[in-house]
Structure 1
């Protein structure tokens, strides 16, 4: 492929705790199966999917091998998919759009959904900023790089408040750096997500808004490489895996304490952070319907309008809806 793959780093949750790793999952056949046997290498971020699948026992009885390719963020995961080192991707909507815009040969095969509360704009408790309109003329730190889900929340919230993106000054900082700056008082307004949002609030921050009520789409995606989708064995295994992932997420919803304990054990997260990650995780797997693509197209169009996503993406043209239809 001649086009340079341009994928921006967008997710670094638990980056200080985890490194890049790959391993076989004991719930399925250990690694070594050929592609005709349906061997899958599942791309993951910060052990999120692996921890859930392992704790729920969702892979027990599977007839194909599963290996996990673990990364700290979406960018290296999509690069691995492009290089053939992972068969699948896992990310929020905007990182997926960035990958597609950058030329990664991947199709979204199933949607993930949560309420959007895991993304937020946090201000210092004594900040004069009381609503989104008050952000005019302010500096806003966005975690982590251009094109993150927290940047979409900021862009959409400003638009809803009748402001333009140029009404604020955006500075990009990796979450760990932004966290330190926020804690020291050097940052007054921080658009962030997940564990970093929870820590900011624990450190005396005040939530201005979160991604609830449609401020973000709340969708994420499981993607599959074009190469994997062309392999009959992998395709069948992936369809089964999506069904098992759906059951694992249902287990997570009905066993929040056990899920949080598994996160704490597998990642080294504190009990409070593990509870936050468990309760704000994606709650279900959904088919990619026209309603899903319409919602995510709004994300693409908004970010293209502020020159963050270029070229734009036609979401409906980048999906394979045949693997998960439930």
Structure 2
């Protein structure tokens, strides 16, 4: 039995829950897929799949076996890719997932420069707020906003992701400039929609974290649209400093400084670059990680990281 081939068939059937779909993926008959997996089950001494005339599903043993096999196959693929890359200049596909707004405003310009230097690396970039699993083959690098991720991945902070309240001077002249969290009551709010819900504003009133009684007047998952509406005097925005920096420098928006903290989270957050240490050995991934880090990691005036 070609066990490596049988394992690939098993993973594909587990992902698609279909012998027919797996057969199409490998351009072989579904009966060949079924026969190979039956041989694999005999080899390991366990039933991995429930089969009926209409459906296929993993057994409990199959789920356990799949988790181990998928990890091992990913490591094997990484080892093979490492040898190929060491024998030549960096090449192949580099898969990156990034939260949309940060991706458009910060990451994509950096990747354009990376492509100029390493033209043989094909960049496959997905802009999505959905957190992706780095344990499989889908993504090599992910950039995400939030608290520091779990220890199973390497997490390097690129930006403290400090949220700033801002508005146009025309809006503030018309509606008044708030000084406290309570002063936000009745103000027009331009709010960001995350992957699961609209991000609520939080303010500390001196005793507790509360939700200010603001009036949402525009909601979007696109930072550029929110800032454009703010520049048109439609309301205030609460967004990361990196997304407002140019508007503040040009004077299109100004910071609204409250005497009390305001944000979207009570805990420290940041923009993190995530990757698996085992795949960092692959030249194209190592080069991209360091290139992105050098270009995007925010530093203090003395050169130290924020």
Rg: which structure is higher?
2
Q: Aligning the two structures, in what range does the TM-score lie when normalised by the shorter sequence? A: 0.3 to 0.5
User: Which structure ranks higher in relative contact order (CA pairs < 8 Å, sequence separation ≥ 6)?
Assistant: 1
Q: Tell me the TM-score normalised to structure 2 length.
A: 0.46
TM-score, reference length from structure 1:
0.44
